[in-house]
Amino acid sequence: MKKLVLTSLLTVFAVSGAHAAGMLDNPLYRPDQGMFYSMTDLESNTNSTTRLDLGEEFGYGITDRLAVGIAMSMAENNWFDQSEWGQLGIGVNYRLLDMEKWKADIYGSYGVNPVWAYGKSFMEENETNYAWNIGMRAGYVTDAWTLAGYIDFDYVNTESFNWGDDGWHYLTLGADLLVALNEDWDLALGAQYTGIMDDRVENAGQWEGKIGANYLIDDNMFVGIYLAKYMAHTNPGQWTVADGFGYGAKFGIQF
């Protein structure tokens, strides 16, 4: 479902690490005051092995509790026979709870998708959607593992402020588990459900499960790989598992 619409930009905003507070690959990461971070993601889903999506998220810690950032994505298909500028958004995150091991964040973002679709003009009126997102993430952090859950609400429409018009309302629930295998490697597991809340769409929803491994280059840098599996709810009482696996790689750095 997240492949279909701009949702939950900047969801990386929220963390404290499995080996030490502030590790980038932790599901509750957040930058310290005055720190920048960059998260780059290259992935392909199960619908096509020739399509690749490149995502970039760049953020800054205004204080130890408040962070802001910008995110965008590009896509290519059939070895660059088709390409597009997909998502572009800005977001903010605030840490509500910052106890020794318990953490909780609220966040929000605004964005457009696509910015420049293949074969279309820039910000084509009939192609571009505008998305508002609010969410909350909370979890428990130890030196050996971190468990975090989150809930997101997204409102998407063809204009930015047409609140009275019919749009699309998405609800996303998920959980992430990060386990420190040793000083260099982490195991990452995640499950997420995204559903459409509008009555005019029946039985629309998707489960996504991920498993991955991250290599910690140092305290400020990591690389990771992961596999994903998707299952869609398209008919009453019927779930369809997508063929094959999604796959991807990540690179994160803070400075």
19: nearest Cα among 149, 176, 150, 146 = 146
Q: What is the pLDDT of residue 164?
A: 66
CA 21 → CA 78, 189, 215, 244, distances in Å? Answer: 41, 19, 17, 36
Give the C-alpha separation, 5 to 113, whole Å.
7
**16: Cα within 13 Å, side-chain hemisphere:** 21
Overall average pLDDT of the 205-233 stretch: 91
Overall average pLDDT of the 203-210 stretch: 85
Overall average pLDDT of the 130-147 stretch: 93
Q: What is the pTM of this model?
A: 0.85
- With 0-12 / 13-18 / 19 or more C-beta atoms within 10 angstroms meaning exposed / middle / buried, residue 209 is middle
Contact 93, 67 (CB under 8 A): yes
254: nearest Cα among 225, 226, 224, 217 = 217
12 confidence band (pLDDT: 50, 70, 90): very low
Q: What percent of the chain has pLDDT over 70?
A: 85
Give the C-alpha separation, 225 to 228, whole Å.
10
Give the C-alpha separation, 254 to 144, whole Å.
21
- With 0-12 / 13-18 / 19 or more C-beta atoms within 10 angstroms meaning exposed / middle / buried, residue 237 is exposed
Q: What is the pLDDT of residue 167?
A: 84
Position with higher pLDDT, 202 vs 220:
220
Give the end-to-end CA distance of the chain in Å, rounded to a whole number: 33
4 confidence band (pLDDT: 50, 70, 90): very low
Secondary structure (DSSP) of 6-23: ---TTTT-B---SSSTT-
SS3 212: strand
Q: Which CATH superfamily is domain 36-254 in?
A: monomeric porin ompg (2.40.160.40)
Written as six digits, the tokens of 45 are 């889903």
**Interval 71-116: pLDDT, tens:** 999 888 777 777 888 899 999 999 999 998 999 999 999 999 888 8
**pLDDT at residue 203 above 70?**
no
Overall average pLDDT of the 145-150 stretch: 95
